């Protein structure tokens, strides 16, 4: 069950958390069949630097994916800690979504470090070095 009540009468929105978990379960099965490992990554958006609006969703994902042995990486803590305040604006291409070149570079580097810190993923990545 999702940790907060979703403030909507839209049955499709209310079902979203359960549907998302089912999708991740299916993706994990597909990956297992290919002898690969599913890694779910939460990529921060602009507002994640300043606000905690996504914290319930992220905590839910972490708990549910952990129960299913699915690797979950949340980059928000690193984003807040390592991205200088004056660079946040230029890390995005206006609005709240797409990263700029510098934003992509920052996120790619942080994600790569996180992936290397996971033994089951590091073994795979080191084959390409």
Averaged pLDDT for residues 63-76: 97
Q: How far is the C-alpha of 5 from the C-alpha of 100, rounded, in Å?
A: 34
Choices 3.10.560.10, 1.10.287.130, 3.40.50.1110, 3.40.50.10420: CATH for 11-128:
3.40.50.1110
Give the rounded distance of the alpha carbon of 87 from its chain centre.
21
- What angle (nearest 5°) sits at the alpha carbon of residue 25, between those of residues 23 and 31? 100
Q: What is the pLDDT of residues 23-41, one digit of tens each?
A: 999 999 999 999 888 999 9
Question: What pTM, to 2 d.p., does this model score?
Answer: 0.85
Q: Average pLDDT over the chain, rounded to whole?
A: 89
Q: How far is the C-alpha of 61 from the C-alpha of 113, rounded, in Å?
A: 21
Q: What is the pLDDT of residues 37-46, one digit of tens each?
A: 899 999 999 9
pLDDT at 6: 58
Torsion over CA: 46, 51, 56, 59 (sign): positive
pLDDT at 1: 44
Token pair for 80: 């807040």
Confidence of residue 85 (pLDDT cuts 50, 70, 90): very high
Confidence of residue 127 (pLDDT cuts 50, 70, 90): confident
């Amino acid at each position: 069950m999702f940790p907060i009540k979703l403030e909507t009468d839209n049955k499709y929105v209310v079902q979203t958390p359960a549907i998302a978990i089912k999708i991740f379960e299916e993706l994990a099965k597909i990956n297992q069949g290919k002898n690969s490992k599913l890694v779910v990554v939460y990529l921060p958006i602009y507002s994640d630097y300043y606000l905690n609006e996504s914290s319930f969703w992220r905590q839910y994902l972490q708990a549910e994916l952990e129960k299913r042995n699915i690797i979950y990486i949340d980059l928000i803590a690193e984003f807040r800690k390592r991205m200088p305040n004056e660079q946040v604006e230029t890390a995005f291409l206006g609005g709240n979504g797409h990263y700029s070149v510098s934003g992509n570079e920052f996120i790619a580097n942080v994600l790569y470090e996180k992936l290397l810190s996971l033994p089951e993923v590091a073994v795979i990545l080191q084959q390409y070095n």
